Amino acid sequence: MNSSIFLTLGLLALMFGAGLSSASWGFKLGREALKGITQPDTRPTNNLASDQSNSNRREELVFLKEDKIIINVKSTIINGGVVDKKTALEGSQEKQGKAKSNQATQPQQTFPIVSSDGGVVLEVEKVRRWGNSLVLDVNLKNQGDRAVRFLYSFLNITDEQGRVLSASTEDLPGELPPNGRRYYGIITIPITLLDNAKELSLELTDYPAQKLDLKMSKIKID
């Protein structure tokens, strides 16, 4: 019984001694590993001084103008970059001037466009787009001494290339009395038939005599 107690106490002493030596050895290794490592300096005065020194070294940020950027790009593209900036700028201004002069010199359509024959007057007041159709607002009046009849299937509309265009009419009278009153209506042409046409010509005659010749040309629709 006494030998068992002594054996147990001996083992405990050995375990305690081994643990103590292991802890001492681990502490020593950790201390050696952390040599040369210091805590960063977070004092406000040092940070302020550092920020001021960095700000002194910063370069000023400069924004380039759009015109200069465009000129630089053009000078890089044209002739491998061998272009004078002044020449490129003058060329750009010249193009803009030509575009404005072309717009200024382009003739403007004046309404109404009027055609008359035998006391009968046909006017085109406006050309407009309505949905998928081109619409001509027109009116007719008879200042003669007799009534005039119209069959609007005789209405002939062509573009500047001579192509005949199909059109329909609304609200125009089949018989125009000689009272000088204006009768309003519309002429409708499907947009799909125009095929990039720029001008229209219009011709209308009476029925059945076909003595009247109401003609219009160069009606601009662009």
- How far is 138 from 127, CA to CA, in rounded Å? 9
> What was the pLDDT predicted at 1?
55
> What was the pLDDT predicted at 83?
46
pLDDT at position 181 over 60: yes
- How far is 175 from 147, CA to CA, in rounded Å? 7
- Tell me the three state secondary structure of residue 64: coil
Q: What is the CA radius of gyration of the chain?
A: 48
- How far is 45 from 51, CA to CA, in rounded Å? 10
Its pTM stands at 0.52
What's at 150, amino acid-wise?
A: F
CA 62 to chain CA centroid, nearest Å:
30
**Between residues 11 and 149, the one the model is more confident about:** 149
Joined together, the tokens standing for residue 218 give 């160069």
Percent of the chain's residues with pLDDT above 90: 47
Domains of the chain plus CATH, in order, are 66-105 (no CATH), 113-220 (2.60.40.10)
> What was the pLDDT predicted at 125?
95
Encode pLDDT of 21-44 as tens digits. Answer: 888 888 888 777 777 666 665 555
- How far is 209 from 222, CA to CA, in rounded Å? 35
pLDDT band at 71 (very low <50, low <70, confident <90, very high): confident
Question: What does the DSSP 8-state code read for residue 124?
Answer: E
